[in-house]
A and B are shown apart, each in its own frame.
Chain A
Amino acid sequence: MAMAVIWTGMVVVSILCALATGNGAAVGGAALEGAGAAVDLCLSMAGVLCLWMGVMEIMKRSGLSAGLSRLLRPLLGRLYPEFARDREVMDCISANVSANLLGLGNAATPLGIEAARKMSRRRPGVACDGMCMLVVCNTASIQLIPTTVAGVRMAAGCQSPFDILPAVWLASALSVSVGILAAKVLAKLWRD
């Protein structure tokens, strides 16, 4: 229901603001433009998604993802206690975390999606604790080298575009920690 409330809220706020500011025509056009942009986005990520799910399949069949998940088990087992013994889920999460750390956001998304799909088999339609944790860990970016931002800074004439790295790492670490803490606390408090 959370998404339903947020979505309806966004639409209603847009309409009210459009009426107040006289942007009515722009909002009318934007609604259709947004729907089209969604399909463009899907098509633009189609190739990458298929490619990385293919690579994941090779990793799975050759035992590479199992090795990766043995390496990350001490950490991930604590974050996802309910799936600690589920090999398939842990393999996908490990690959997702590795891709995130390498700054391969394009690869991390398909791998994370695979993990979410496998997690949902236990309780279809409901986001279990593990899935909430997965979403939080993927929305709080943990990339080590933010190349896109560095590119923007360089374009603006910056001599040392990577001098923000320590600040990015500090902020990312804090954001991920708060997210994980919030997820763990809410898992205990949430009533549904």
Chain B
Amino acid sequence: MDAFFTMLVPLIIGAVALWGMARRVDVYSALLTGAGEGLGVLIRIAPALVGLLTAVYMLRASGALELAANALAPLLTAVGIPPETVGLMLVRPVSGSAALGVGAELISTYGPDSAIGRTAAVMLGSTETTFYTIAVYFGAAGIVKTRYAVPAALCADLAGFLAAAWAVRLIF
């Protein structure tokens, strides 16, 4: 099973190529056309990421997340989320690598099989880097009016965090 997952990407690419050949598609020229369009997309994403990451890095360095974490801890205990995970929840929507760092720290400090370690792992596994995704998708599509995308996505994140804490309690 492990070998299958590590080979998943090359297997998919191979299968698509063989299927294309069977359908008499010029597979290589199609690949190059698509890949060329990828470069154009990249140029549209870059400005959005520069804006977002500048603000995210500033926020992390300023200590604002620690202050918010302290303020939110009592509220989290009340709804059944271990307060130790508050830093992870605040970082998760803005930075994937920082969230992985905070999560790994929690997992090694409290142990991978502790309630806190498990909750952190489930939170990481069941949510995404929301603002990064929004910046990339809307940047590429040239969207200025984002309407309700941000509040709806944050609702999903919040539900994911709550569900992570409850699921760990329920199952373990």
Contact of A27 with B by CB under 8 A: yes
Q: Which DSSP category, helix, strand, loop or mixed, fits chain B's interface?
A: helix
Question: A175 to B58, Cβ gap below 8 A?
Answer: no
Question: A13 to B64, Cβ gap below 8 A?
Answer: yes
Q: Given the known inter-chain contacts A49-B42, A175-B127, please indicate yes or no for A58 contacting B27, CB distance below 8 A.
A: yes
Q: B141 to chain A: which residues have CB within 8 Å?
A: 113, 116-117, 119-120, 131
* CB within 8 Å of A: which B47-89 residues: 49-64, 67
Question: A10 to B55, Cβ gap below 8 A?
Answer: yes
For A13, the closest partner residue in chain B by CB is: B64
Number of interface residues, chain A, beta carbon within 8 A:
103
* CB within 8 Å of A: which B91-143 residues: 100, 103-104, 107-108, 111-113, 117-118, 121-131, 133-138, 140-143
Question: B62 to A14, Cβ gap below 8 A?
Answer: yes
For B145, the closest partner residue in chain A by CB is: A126
Interface residues on B, range: 35 or more
Partner of B125, one of A29, A57, A104, A146: A146
**Cα A27 to Cα B137 with chains together (Å):** 28
Q: A60 to chain B: which residues have CB within 8 Å?
A: 30
**Cα A6 to Cα B122 with chains together (Å):** 27
For B56, the closest partner residue in chain A by CB is: A34
How many CB-defined contacts (below 8 Å) exist between A and B? 354
Q: A168 to chain B: which residues have CB within 8 Å?
A: 121-122, 125-126, 167
Partner of A1, one of B125, B127, B145: B145
Contact of A75 with B by CB under 8 A: no
Q: Given the known inter-chain contacts A54-B35, A102-B8, A146-B125, please indicate yes or no for A34 contacting B53, CB distance below 8 A.
A: yes
Q: A182 to chain B: which residues have CB within 8 Å?
A: 151-152, 155-156
Q: Given the known inter-chain contacts A146-B124, A183-B152, please indicate yes or no for A49 contacting B41, CB distance below 8 A.
A: yes
Q: List 14 A-B contacts (CB under 8 A).
A: A10-B58, A14-B59, A27-B61, A29-B61, A30-B60, A59-B16, A61-B30, A102-B8, A124-B142, A127-B149, A136-B149, A139-B156, A140-B127, A156-B111
Contact of A71 with B by CB under 8 A: no
**Cα A183 to Cα B152 with chains together (Å):** 5
For A167, the closest partner residue in chain B by CB is: B167
Q: B25 to chain A: which residues have CB within 8 Å?
A: 58, 61-62
Interface centre among B9, B143, B144 (most CB of A within 10 A): B143
Question: B125 to A149, Cβ gap below 8 A?
Answer: yes
Contact of A84 with B by CB under 8 A: no
Question: A42 to B49, Cβ gap below 8 A?
Answer: yes
Q: Given the known inter-chain contacts A2-B150, A27-B62, A192-B147, please indicate yes or no for A7 contacting B51, CB distance below 8 A.
A: yes
**Cα A46 to Cα B113 with chains together (Å):** 37
Partner of B23, one of A29, A41, A62, A167: A62
Interface centre among A102, A156, A187 (most CB of B within 10 A): A156
Q: A157 to chain B: which residues have CB within 8 Å?
A: 111-112
A145 to chain B, nearest CB (A): 7
For B23, the closest partner residue in chain A by CB is: A62
For A57, the closest partner residue in chain B by CB is: B34
**Cα A63 to Cα B147 with chains together (Å):** 34
Q: B130 to chain A: which residues have CB within 8 Å?
A: 139
